Amino acid sequence: MVVLRRQLLAMLLGLELMAAAANVGLVHQACLLSDAEALAAVAIVIAVAAAEAVVGLSLILRVLRSGRGLGAGELTQLRG
């Protein structure tokens, strides 16, 4: 996968968009096949996406408070 925009917030939004697209596909499958397992998978994907958003936004806030930019190239390691 090639990342064209190396800004952390844009990368996080892209991941959330991909999770939402996966949810749309799973809901479509659940409606077509009357599959309860697909609906359970949707709930799991929503929970994982929410946890991912919390961790990602906390890392972005940590980088902003340290005075560095939001570029992924500048971020090689987090120092406490």
**Residues 3-53: pLDDT tens digits?**
565 677 888 888 889 889 988 988 888 888 888 888 888 889 899 989 989
Q: What is the pLDDT of residue 4?
A: 60
Q: How many domains does the chain have?
A: 1
The CA-based dihedral angle spanning residues 11, 17, 18, 24, taken in that order and rounded to the nearest 10 degrees:
170
CA distances 18 to 15, 22, 61, 80, Å, are 5, 6, 22, 31
Could you tell me if residue 80 is inside a domain?
Answer: no
What is the domain range of residue 61?
A: 8-65
pTM for the predicted model, two decimal places: 0.69
Could you tell me if residue 71 is inside a domain?
Answer: no
73: which residues sit within 8 A by CB, 6+ positions away? 6
Q: What is the pLDDT of residue 35?
A: 80
Q: Give 51-65 pLDDT, tens digit per residue.
A: 989 988 888 888 788
Could you tell me if residue 3 is inside a domain?
Answer: no
